[in-house]
């Protein structure tokens, strides 16, 4: 399977640079995965595609202000660090810039005019160009990170947000992500309440988005691509809600590709495939056409980068030809793409 099969032309003008002020005012493209039928709605109309008894699965990860700007201790040269994964209490896997000058043994200082508040030493180089850093500091690390760090917005977004919370879902709870599960950014608490009033159930799982989000597919053959591990948790309450839906022929609707990856990982960790048990761990699951979904029946997602693993995942659910046709129509109708863009519902 060739990576070029998942390419498409996207005018730069369609890349959403800022979030809409009203979370639910996005447009919604719907795709019937059985027939390929496409319709154009508003996000407010999502509720019309959902039925009482459906279980919506939402990723309640919370994004860390994980982008730090400092200087090299020996030269004073500027350095940038993006935290990806906590390995131990003060050891983190991270991406660094400039990578050629930040090798094992280098020390980076972070602080304000009053002095250094945080020091990072590069202990080793990890796979896929990452680094392992050990931090030293006085006080509480998360408080220093909140003070010094910036939200790790994708590289195609050029400006920092005036309000950090706009890059968090309204149900964000467990800190640990290097990026937001962006399908969830469309929801307000009021809209979630409306869904519950209709009889739609909400189940919360956690996947901390890490390095895999930032790595394009760099191989010709899709099946040779290796995903980076990300931490996930599925609790007892979520497992019961999802198992109940599957047992009674009701739909499980994943809100975002991170929720889909978590559910399909957990389904394969269970002693009884397709029936979830509470679990946690690290997943590097890679979903592309030919994959058999055990849990996910429908998916709400944003529009993804060309040749990305996320585009491959939705193609596995809805069929590559259906997805690429939908994307061509989204481009023609000037939908907003990527993290702050419009939404797509596959059912």
Report the candidate in 51, 109, 32 with the shortest Cα–Cα distance to residue 318: 32
On average, the pLDDT of the chain sits at 94
- pLDDT tens-digit readout, 258-305: 999 999 999 999 888 889 999 999 999 999 999 999 999 999 999 999
Residue 123, domain extent:
67-148
Poorest-pLDDT segment among 25-39, 88-102, 312-326 = 88-102
Average pLDDT of span 98-111: 94
Residue 329 within any structural domain of the chain = yes
If asked whether residues 275 and 207 sit together in one domain, one would say: yes
If asked whether residues 58 and 75 sit together in one domain, one would say: no
If asked whether residues 52 and 105 sit together in one domain, one would say: no
User: Which CATH number characterizes residue 77's domain?
Assistant: 2.40.10.240
Q: What is the dihedral of CA 288, 290, 295, 300, to 10 degrees?
A: 50
pTM across the whole model: 0.91
**Please, which pLDDT band fits residue 105 given cuts at 50, 70 and 90?**
very high
User: Which CATH number characterizes residue 220's domain?
Assistant: 3.40.1780.10
If asked whether residues 246 and 303 sit together in one domain, one would say: yes
If asked whether residues 303 and 196 sit together in one domain, one would say: yes
- pLDDT tens-digit readout, 15-53: 999 999 999 999 999 999 999 999 999 999 999 999 999
If asked whether residues 193 and 205 sit together in one domain, one would say: yes
- Asked if 239 contacts 57 with a C-beta cutoff of 8 angstroms, the reply is no
Average pLDDT of span 94-105: 93
**Please, which pLDDT band fits residue 212 given cuts at 50, 70 and 90?**
low
Q: Assign residue 15 a region (left: φ > 0; alpha: ψ between -120 and 50; beta: otherwise).
A: beta
Residue 159 within any structural domain of the chain = no
Residue 155 within any structural domain of the chain = no
Final residue before a domain boundary, out of 99, 119, 148: 148
If asked whether residues 237 and 339 sit together in one domain, one would say: yes
Q: Which residues sit opposite 133 in a β-bridge?
A: 92, 122
First-to-last CA distance in the chain? 25
If asked whether residues 56 and 74 sit together in one domain, one would say: no
What is the per-residue pLDDT for 214? 60
If asked whether residues 184 and 108 sit together in one domain, one would say: no
Does the pLDDT at position 14 exceed 70? Answer: yes
If asked whether residues 59 and 142 sit together in one domain, one would say: no
If asked whether residues 263 and 200 sit together in one domain, one would say: yes
What is the per-residue pLDDT for 217? 82
If asked whether residues 231 and 307 sit together in one domain, one would say: yes
Residue 240 within any structural domain of the chain = yes
Number of structural domains (the chain) is 2
Final residue before a domain boundary, out of 148, 182, 205: 148
**Please, which pLDDT band fits residue 329 given cuts at 50, 70 and 90?**
very high
Residue 300 within any structural domain of the chain = yes
């Amino acid at each position: 399977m060739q990576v070029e099969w998942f390419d498409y032309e996207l005018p730069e003008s369609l890349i959403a640079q800022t979030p809409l002020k009203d979370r639910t005012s996005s447009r919604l493209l719907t795709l019937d995965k059985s027939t390929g039928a496409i319709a154009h709605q508003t996000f407010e109309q999502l509720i019309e595609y959902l039925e009482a008894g459906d279980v919506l699965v939402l990723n309640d990860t919370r994004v860390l202000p994980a982008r730090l700007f400092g200087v090299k201790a020996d030269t004073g040269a500027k350095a940038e660090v993006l935290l990806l994964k906590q390995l131990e209490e003060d050891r983190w896997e991270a991406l660094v810039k400039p990578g050629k000058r930040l090798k094992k043994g280098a020390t980076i200082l972070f602080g304000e005019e009053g002095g250094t508040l945080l020091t990072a030493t590069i202990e080793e180089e990890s796979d896929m160009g990452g680094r392992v850093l050990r931090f030293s500091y006085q006080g509480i690390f998360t408080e220093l990170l909140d003070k010094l760090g910036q939200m790790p917005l994708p590289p195609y977004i050029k400006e920092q947000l005036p309000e950090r919370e706009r890059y968090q879902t309204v149900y964000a709870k467990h800190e640990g992500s290097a990026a937001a599960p962006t399908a969830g950014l469309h929801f307000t608490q009021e809209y979630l309440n409306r869904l519950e009033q209709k009889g739609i159930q909400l189940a919360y799982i956690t996947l901390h988005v890490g390095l895999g989000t930032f790595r394009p597919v760099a191989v010709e053959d899709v099946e040779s691509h290796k995903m980076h591990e990300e931490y996930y948790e599925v609790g007892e309450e979520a497992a019961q809600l999802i198992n109940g839906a599957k047992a009674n022929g009701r739909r499980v609707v994943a809100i975002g590709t991170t929720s889909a990856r978590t559910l399909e990982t957990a389904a394969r960790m269970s002693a009884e495939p397709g029936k979830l048990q509470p679990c946690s761990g690290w997943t590097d699951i890679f979903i592309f056409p030919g994959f058999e979904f055990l849990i996910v029946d429908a998916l709400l997602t944003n529009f993804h980068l060309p040749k990305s693993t996320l585009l491959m995942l939705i193609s596995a659910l809805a069929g590559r030809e259906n997805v690429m046709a939908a994307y061509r129509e989204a481009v023609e109708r000037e939908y907003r793409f990527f993290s702050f863009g419009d939404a797509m519902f596959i059912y």
